[in-house]
Structure 1
Amino acid sequence: MAKGDVHTSWDADREKWVNRREGNDRPSSSHDRADDASSRGQDLARNTGSEWIKHRKDDGRIHDRNTYGKDPYPPKG
């Protein structure tokens, strides 16, 4: 994953959903609802042409992702 990708995940310390860019310690935004956090995270990724990754609240595994940058064409593999 490239530096600057946006991760949407549950922050147990804040008890909120947060968006955090890779490489940053502080969250870019925090939200009470997962849908609000996801929407904002996608906007952040779209504006910078990076990838958005949403993690599950219960175990932190990747739940959803989308790339807003330049995907290689044709894809490898």
Structure 2
Amino acid sequence: MAERHDIHVVPHDHEGWLVRRENQDEPIGNYATQAEAEEAGRTIAKEEKVELFVHSHTGQIRDRSTYGHDPRNIPG
């Protein structure tokens, strides 16, 4: 089974936002605004059926969305 690489939207050097795959150093893209980065990250996460983590300016996770693989076992 292929290793999953969840997608993270993170602040970049107090200027702009990066979209990155978990455990990979090279960013997927660099965006001027968090909204642009979040939109790009969401598209990638949906295509790859992984989770999207959106971080705040302080680096804390402020939003999390699951696409295609929900680790929780909740019926309905």
TM-score, reference length from structure 2: 0.84
Q: Distance in 2 between matches of 1:30 and 1:5?
A: 17
Shift of 1:71: 2.2
Moved over 3 A (4+): none
Q: Counterparts of 1:6 and 1:31 in 2: how far apart (Å)?
A: 15
Give the unaligned 5+ runs of structure 2: none
C-alpha distance in structure 1 between counterparts of 2:18 and 2:52, whole Å? 12
TM-score (norm 1): 0.83
Structure 1, unmatched stretches of 5+, are: none
1:71 lines up with 2:76 in the alignment? no
Instruction: Assess, with a 3 A threshold, how the Cα gap between structure 1 residues 68 and 32 changes in structure 2: closer, same or farther.
Output: same
One-letter code aligned to 2:56: R
Question: Does structure 1 conserve the Cα–Cα contact (< 8 Å) formed by 2:51 and 2:69?
Answer: no
In structure 2, what is the Cα distance between the partners aligned to 1:48 and 1:56? 23
Q: CA RMSD in A?
A: 2.1
* Percent identity (aligned): 32
